[in-house]
Structure 1
Amino acid sequence: MILSKRSLLATATAFALVLPAGWAIAKEQLDVVATTGMIGDAAREVGGDLVKVRALMGPGVDPHAYRQTRSDIVGMAKADLVLWHGLYLEAQMEDFLNELSESGNVVAVAESLPRNLLIGHEDYEGKFDPHVWMNPNLWSRVVLNVRDALIEVQPESEATFRANADAHLEELRELARYTTEVLSSVPAESRVLISAHDAFNYFGNAYGFEVMGIQGISTESEAGLQRIAEMVDTIVRRDIRAVFVESSVSDRNIRALIEGAAAEGHEVTIGGTLFSDAMGAAGTYEGTYLGMIDHNATVISRALGGDAPERGMSELLN
């Protein structure tokens, strides 16, 4: 249901009394609400001490199916800036966010990416794969959009936002160098990434991996028995030895693949857990964008026969 401006403000007022204590606004900081953890991380990196950022979707939360809660509505209505991804990632929230944009500072930070850099969306005609954060170089463009959104809201802090963004972009360039190095060490015949859903197409394009998801780009799509049977046949025929689960998607279908391969006399193991639509726990390295991608590249490389340090890029820096 799309809310009118009047009903949106009425809803915000009605729910104000149930607003959690943690949502109290520090007046000296910009109050920024981000939908995903990845966007929230970018806003913190660029905004620094000038912003207070809250991400609606925490570890293990699937953005494809997420619907705004009552406290989300209040928080977004009161925020100085709302940052969301776009490209139909937050499919269940899109109508609400578009309505909210008519009366506040609301920016879809991936929506304006050049279409020639995007991958078509198989599940929804005319739309694009939203998982652009799987390529650090492409994500850098989103960081610039976050920077510009912050500058628009608080232009007097432009110099700080630009300096913080430049520093973070250098970190992303270092991340891209690391991921390229460790993933290029995987033998060419082993560069096949099988996971629960098609979240890794930008990863595959960036690093030369063939990517297969049991479900489609959206976790709302269903994986039928025929699809699982076809993938079992591929695993056995191509002697694939490792598949991957995702932190925000049920491992049910991955385990069905393993059992199906075993029934054919072929052993395949879980190569590790990857972060696809959500980052790791808050306060951990994997709870940052850098840590999320570092973890994925390291786990994939090691599981598929590549050469990567056990603790990833962080091991090289310490």
Structure 2
Amino acid sequence: MKHTKKMLYFVLASLILILGACASGGNSETQGDGEGSESTGEGDPINVVATIAQIGEPLSVIGGEYVEVETLMGPSIDPHLYNPTQSDISKIDGADVVFYSGLNLEANMIDAFESIGESKPVLALGETLAESDILEDEEEAGEPDPHIWFDLDLWQQALDAAVEELKDYAPDYADVFEENKQDYFTELAAVKEDAAKLADIPEEQRVLVTAHDAFGYFGQMHDIEVIGLQGLSTESEVSISDVNETIDIIKEHQVPAIFVESSINPDSIEAVIAGAKDEGVDIELGGELYSDAMGEAGTEEGTYIGMYRYNVDTIYEALNGGAE
């Protein structure tokens, strides 16, 4: 009997030691001071889910080794029309922090974000900006323009809000996030400086015609008139009158080129080119721009900075006739 009791005490003591060790290890998985602590070396990174690459890619750079970012919508995906899959919901549910653009860009996912936001940090970057900074649909009063990543200054503010959310979640990494953010913002300043060359495009030709009205912030920042065949959302239909009105603008301004978008069906732009030709106006296809989606991962256009530079260069070359 005594032998049995001794064995029971030994087993119980062993279990207590094992449980204590597990609890100690579990507390250090996602937090650390970034100075070579056990949690920094062995802990799992913060699991971040972002809807679009314009959010996910910069945060992966700023977060570095301390975050693991998964983007739901890849190249050529139109966020205006995107419906979340069960896999998407599972990824969001399993995330530590969730970021989305907001301002009705991901209109079909709002209910999911509101529900999951009750139990974890969920941030709409566009909705952290001042209301006075948000453009509105010219045809539908009160409808916000969600394409804020095309204003470098506004997007910097939005990313800053996202980084503050990461700092709140993992304060031990706050200094690292801040340093990486400042380095990234220095690169954004260089992009802005390079984009100043758009001012060299002759004023009468400084008209950007695209498939849908995604470049309003870009036009405002770089003093370019923007014409989109569709409205802010790609759910709207392109009518014959839209095509004819666009052709009239092209003729009036002698616009040398118009553009398709990587995530939008090119049919409407091709209809404009064909219609202009029927009226004796030779209009070129200036190239493909990235609007609601970025390029393939692993390419320059698959980064926010690379995508922005690509768009600037493509627009400059097409509307400025290749002048340097």
**TM-score, normalization by structure 1:** 0.86
- Partners of 1:253 and 1:64 in 2: how far apart? 17
- Contact 1:187–1:306 (CA under 8 A) maintained in structure 2: no
Q: Report whether the alignment pairs 1:142 with 2:158.
A: yes
Identify the residue that residue 176 of structure 1 maps to in structure 2.
Answer: 192
Q: Report whether the alignment pairs 1:256 with 2:271.
A: yes
Q: Report whether the alignment pairs 1:167 with 2:167.
A: no
Q: Report whether the alignment pairs 1:215 with 2:230.
A: yes
SS across alignment from 1:104: coil
- Partners of 1:233 and 1:85 in 2: how far apart? 34
After TM superposition, where is structure 1 displaced by more than 3 Å over at least 4 residues in a row? 122-125, 306-309
- Partners of 1:232 and 1:187 in 2: how far apart? 19
Percent identity of paired positions between Structure 1 and Structure 2: 41
Identify the residue that residue 22 of structure 1 maps to in structure 2.
Answer: none
- Partners of 1:250 and 1:27 in 2: how far apart? 44
Pairwise CA distance, 1:308: 7.1
- Contact 1:187–1:305 (CA under 8 A) maintained in structure 2: yes
1:192-219 per-position Cα deviation (integer Å, ceiling 9, x unaligned):
0000000000011101101000000111
Q: Report whether the alignment pairs 1:277 with 2:292.
A: yes
How well do the aligned residues superpose, as a CA RMSD in angstroms? 1.5
- Contact 1:186–1:307 (CA under 8 A) maintained in structure 2: no
Q: Report whether the alignment pairs 1:59 with 2:112.
A: no
Pairs within 5 Å for 1:16-27: none
Pairwise CA distance, 1:92: 1.0
- Partners of 2:152 and 2:322 in 1: how far apart? 20
**TM-score, normalization by structure 2:** 0.84
Higher-Rg structure is 2
Query: Which residue type is aligned with residue 257 of structure 2?
Result: A
1:129-182 per-position Cα deviation (integer Å, ceiling 9, x unaligned):
0101111111110110111111111111100111111110111111111111x2
Q: Report whether the alignment pairs 1:240 with 2:255.
A: yes
Q: 1:48 to 1:123 in 2, by over 3 A?
A: farther
Pairwise CA distance, 1:109: 1.4
- Contact 1:42–1:146 (CA under 8 A) maintained in structure 2: no
- Contact 2:51–2:100 (CA under 8 A) maintained in structure 1: yes
Unpaired segments of 5 or more residues in structure 1? 1-25, 310-318
SS across alignment from 2:210: strand
- Contact 2:205–2:254 (CA under 8 A) maintained in structure 1: no
More helix by share: 2
- Partners of 2:141 and 2:312 in 1: how far apart? 30
Identify the residue that residue 87 of structure 1 maps to in structure 2.
Answer: 103
Query: Which residue type is aligned with residue 116 of structure 1?
Result: S
Q: Report whether the alignment pairs 1:43 with 2:59.
A: yes
SS across alignment from 1:61: coil
- Partners of 1:80 and 1:127 in 2: how far apart? 31
Identify the residue that residue 49 of structure 2 maps to in structure 1.
Answer: 33
Pairwise CA distance, 1:111: 0.7
- Partners of 2:141 and 2:48 in 1: how far apart? 32
- Partners of 1:143 and 1:192 in 2: how far apart? 29
1:126 aligned to 128, 137, 142, which one? 142
- Contact 1:34–1:54 (CA under 8 A) maintained in structure 2: yes
Identify the residue that residue 293 of structure 1 maps to in structure 2.
Answer: 308
More deviation, 98-107/281-290: 98-107
1:76-122 per-position Cα deviation (integer Å, ceiling 9, x unaligned):
10100111111111011112111211121111112110111111134
Pairs within 5 Å for 1:184-195: 184-195=199-210
Figure out how many residues of one structure are paired with residues of the other and give that number. 283
Pairwise CA distance, 1:294: 0.1
- Contact 1:245–1:251 (CA under 8 A) maintained in structure 2: yes
1:267-294 per-position Cα deviation (integer Å, ceiling 9, x unaligned):
1011010000011000001100000000
SS across alignment from 1:103: coil
Q: 1:225 to 1:286 in 2, by over 3 A?
A: same
1:108 aligned to 124, 149, 163, which one? 124
Pairwise CA distance, 1:234: 1.9
Q: 1:124 to 1:188 in 2, by over 3 A?
A: closer
- Contact 2:295–2:303 (CA under 8 A) maintained in structure 1: yes
